[in-house]
Homo-oligomer: A and B are copies of this chain.
Amino acid sequence: MKNLIIASTSTVHGGTYLSYILPRLETFFAKTDEILFIPYARPGGISHDEYTEAVRKGFESTGKKITGIHTCADPVKAVNEAKAVFTGGGNTFLLVSQLYRTGIMEPLREAVWNGTRYFGTSAGANITGLTMQTTNDMPIIYPPSFKTLGLVPFNINPHYLDPLPGSKHMGETRETRIKEFHKQNTQPVVGLREGSWLYVEGDDITLEGALAARIFEQGKAPYELESGNRLNFWPSVRKDL
């Protein structure tokens, strides 16, 4: 059975790395003492080692062992044998390119469908959707495909941002961008504000955390989903599993 936490961000304003969500992660990862970390989206300026070290520090109080997948000779084997996986944020185009290049996109999908617990923040949350096409990131590298893990039957927009009142900037708001997405694509989009996450347990998907989420369905007006409510109104794309 699928078990995922899909989080808008790793860090909320004023907090430290993962601090806002750590109590929830202790429950979520209670039955495992090891987490495989995927640093491929790494933000500019730091190495995979440094990124993994930051994650170790974030999880320090939990006593979990964190292994960076970049240190594994066979990344596919590492995914297949992982007890739990965490994919951190950075740039989604880079992350998706690396997941394809290393051959772990499909093994990771299979592992999570088969029960390996998965936690993702930002870019690592975005890839749990059907495609990466509602990322906010800059296309700094050309990935072989925009298709992602499809672990939920919709797309994720992490770091969801409401329009700024009184802004004089003429660039599109996030809502306008997602409306444009729906001119070309049919799947719903879940806009996750910073500090909120989705908890996926099999076919049940619950919004948790501090804030409401904004839901976009093609041909409907966007609407709010309050924390604590389920997103179980869409049929799962892979009910058979």
Are B180 and A159 touching (Cβ within 8 A)?
Answer: no
> Which B residue sits closest to A147, measured CB to CB?
B142
Are A135 and B141 touching (Cβ within 8 A)?
Answer: no
What's the least CB distance linking A130 to chain B, in Å? 13
Q: What B residues does A161 contact at CB under 8 A?
A: 169, 171
Q: What B residues does A182 contact at CB under 8 A?
A: 44
Decide yes or no whether A239 CB sits under 8 A from chain B. Answer: no
What's the least CB distance linking A146 to chain B, in Å? 5
Main secondary structure of the interface of A (DSSP, over half): loop
Known: A11-B170, A169-B159. A138 touches B91 (CB 8 A): no
How many of these chains are in the complex?
A: 2
- Give A25 to B146 CA distance when docked, in angstroms: 38
- Give A137 to B133 CA distance when docked, in angstroms: 10
Interface centre among A146, A179, A184 (most CB of B within 10 A): A184
Known: A168-B13, A170-B11. A184 touches B136 (CB 8 A): no
- What is the number of residues of chain A that contact chain B, defined by CB distance less than 8 Å? 43
Are A140 and B181 touching (Cβ within 8 A)?
Answer: yes
Q: What B residues does A141 contact at CB under 8 A?
A: 133, 184
Are B142 and A138 touching (Cβ within 8 A)?
Answer: no
What's the least CB distance linking A147 to chain B, in Å? 9
> Which B residue sits closest to A13, measured CB to CB?
B168
What's the least CB distance linking A183 to chain B, in Å? 5
Q: What B residues does A163 contact at CB under 8 A?
A: none
Which one, B94, B176, B177, contacts A184 given CB within 8 A? B94
Q: What B residues does A132 contact at CB under 8 A?
A: 139
